[in-house]
Amino acid sequence: MKKKIIYFLIAAVCLSGCTADYLDKKPSKSLVVPTSMVHLQALLDGVSNSMNTAPGIQVLATDEFYHPESNLANIPFLDRNSYTWAKDIFEGNGVRDWEYPYKQIFNANIVLEGLSKISRDASNEKDWDQLQASALFYRANALFNLAQVFAAPYDQPTASALPGIPVRLSMDVNETVGRGTLQQTYERIIGDLIDAEKKLPAQVSYINRPSQPAVTALLARIYLSMRQYDKATEMASRCLELHSKMLDYNTLTPSAARPLPAPFSGENAEIIFYSTLQSYSTIVNSALSGVDSVLFKTYHADDLRRSCFFVARANGLFGYKGSYVNAVTLFGGLTTSEVYLIRAEGYARQNKTDLALADLNTVLAKRFKTGKLVAANATAESILDLVLLERRKELFARGLRWSDLRRLNKEPEHAITIKRTFAASELTLPANDSRYVFPIPDDEIRSSGIEQNPR
């Protein structure tokens, strides 16, 4: 891991257009730190160099996609092992879902250390503050994404007793960092975001850069995963005060191979922060795979998501084409629709049925054919289930289903068991099973000696 980080730093410096004249002369390339704010910003702007990616391996383990048993033996071992919840998923190999977030953390720490060498004064304080806040956002986002895959789901009574993930606050690759507790991991994540919010702008010119709405949207997502629904509702409201635009699906061409507009075209005002998921196309985009047929049938005929998200295949299955990346790659960023649904769930749990319905209908009005929407209605007893269903339908293949399963399994009325068939046997993933936490990659265990997750 240390070698990979060092190599990544050298590559990142080269790709950012840096030259030797501005670099500190150090005896080790692992200690080279850019001292120009332009070059520090370039490190964070590395969209194609992993800064705007998130783990995607968890998508394979959910109930969103299904792959025929007859072909499982022919797909890459990592895809198959994740799909079947195998005990040894990585088989001794490294994995991008672990490595890339730590590259993001490493870059963020480079920026923070670089800023410490640049005097903050009246001539640069706005840019200095924004750069610092951006680094804190990227670090927090990476830590949260790692925690959703490689640490136990957050539960207040046990968070101080369970291991978290290694929280690196320095670019020193030789520093030994343990896992700490889950509580400490989340405290760092939230603390970084709270510090970042006040220094970021309300609007940004490029959706790959953090903003105040991105911070509050991410905090809403985090508090939802922690089942702290009042705080999730509060953060969602703060986000929507700054960014409430929605994409009207009536402006799209549902029959197109990729109906959603390209993310950097400026045509999708719904994107608050751009991020993609690590690609596992063998199952997610295979012609042999299909989306959950039970869920597909819940989309109304006049719901444009039915035709914008899915495509019928010759084998009778339905594939997925609705990524906000406008490509095979899955989208994992933050959007207005997600924030509305977070707030709707919060309102539903607070017995504010009318407010929950208002948010739900705001989303649906942009998803149904013009004039065809029959406004959603529900009682106080049924509103939560309705919101959770619409959340599944709206946020399909965003990498969020795994987190939702983990938190909702804590509620007996929403807990489920996922089933697969493999090698003529039925495999099950019961609620709250230890396999809802992925193992730490083997090479990281060997190099750091940190505690492995039970499997």
Q: List, for residues 233-266, the tens digit of each pLDDT value.
A: 999 999 999 999 999 999 999 999 999 999 999 9
Measured CA distances, 6 to 10, 31, 317, 346 (Å): 6, 9, 45, 43
Longest dimension (CA), the chain: 69
Q: What percent of the chain has pLDDT over 90?
A: 85
Tokens 């608050």, located at residue: 272
Residue 13 in this model has a pLDDT that exceeds 60: no
- The per-residue pLDDT for 385 is 98
**CATH numeric code, 2-248+333-448:** 1.25.40.390
pLDDT tens digits, residue range 136-157?
999 999 999 999 999 999 999 9
Measured CA distances, 448 to 6, 87, 179, 184, 393 (Å): 16, 21, 10, 19, 40
**Are 16 and 39 in contact, with CB atoms under 8 Å apart?**
yes
Q: In terms of DSSP H, where are the helices of 46-181? A: 57-60, 69-72, 77-83, 96-115, 125-150
Mean pLDDT across the stretch 202-214? 97
Residue 82 in this model has a pLDDT that exceeds 90: yes
The CA distance from 258 to 121, in Å, is 47
Question: What integer best gives the mean pLDDT of the chain?
Answer: 92
The amino acid at residue 214 is A
Structure tokens of 339? Answer: 């924030």
Question: Which residues touch 122 (CB under 8 Å, ≥6 apart)?
Answer: none
- The per-residue pLDDT for 32 is 67
**Are 334 and 272 in contact, with CB atoms under 8 Å apart?**
yes
Mean pLDDT across the stretch 290-294? 95
Whether the CA torsion 356, 358, 359, 364 is positive or negative: it is positive
Does the global pTM surpass 0.85?
Answer: yes
Mean pLDDT across the stretch 183-207? 97
From the list 285, 326, 304, the residue with the least C-alpha distance to 393 is 304
- The per-residue pLDDT for 8 is 47
Q: What angle do CA 404, 274, 313 make, to 5 degrees?
A: 65
The amino acid at residue 61 is A
